[in-house]
Amino acid sequence: MKTNILFLTLIFILSACDSPRSQRALNSSYNNLQTNNASTVNLDNGSGGHESNNSSTTTTTTPVIPSDATQCKFAADGASGFESESSHLGAYTLCQSSSDKNAFYFQLKTSPTNSNGDVSICFIPTTSSGSSSIYVGNPMCGYFKDPKAVRKINFIKYAQYANATINGVIFFKDLSWYYPVFNSYMMTLDAYKTCMNMLAYGNSSYCQAFKQVGQYIYRQY
């Protein structure tokens, strides 16, 4: 291997979000996140979900990447060359595998932390039609401490959506934020679940509140 290849590729399968984590252990209800009725929501306008391609950055070394991710733009030195920039997570790359639509690769420049220590990031797979999306699989959560590491996310779809194509991902810090509609702080995953559950009954106000707080990123592929 060439000595000037500084990029270290570490591939891990992220754990499902119902496993215990230092921030919290999710309730057993998250083993089955979907509602009885299909719920769709337009997340395009979430204030914290705004992101832009980092077209001005360049990679100075050649990253060693998986064969199904050669189309992706990774940061070889963990500092510059990321695909996107977000006010929620900073610089990152989230890229779909070229051979497996259930697999994604993620690289993050700055791992989120708070007073309690490291903060995990959760990913939820979606499929979309026009401006609306429906989540089709288990949320996956993990920690991203190494900016040079590219980690693989293998989504597990719900049985009822086995034939759905994953063409979007909503992801966010696993933290609580204040939601006026609840008049309290709530974990993002809890708020998203409530949004989708209420939407199934025709109440979109919770999803509007989720979008207005905007502590997430939504990417379509």
**DSSP conformation class of 29:** G
Q: DSSP H helical segments within 59-204, as ranges?
A: 188-199
For the segment 162-219, what is each residue's pLDDT rounded down to a tens digit? Answer: 999 999 999 999 999 999 988 999 999 999 999 998 988 899 999 999 999 999 999 9
Angle at 55 between CA 99 and CA 170, to 5 degrees: 50
Question: Do residues 73 and 53 lie in contact, with contact meaning Cβ atoms separated by under 8 Å?
Answer: no
pTM value is 0.78
SS3 199: helix
**DSSP conformation class of 157:** B
Q: How far apart are CA 194 and CA 198, in angstroms?
A: 6
For the segment 8-41, what is each residue's pLDDT rounded down to a tens digit? Answer: 333 333 444 433 333 332 222 233 344 334 445 6
Domain ranges (residues) in the chain: 15-19+36-220
Q: How far apart are CA 201 and CA 102, in angstroms?
A: 29
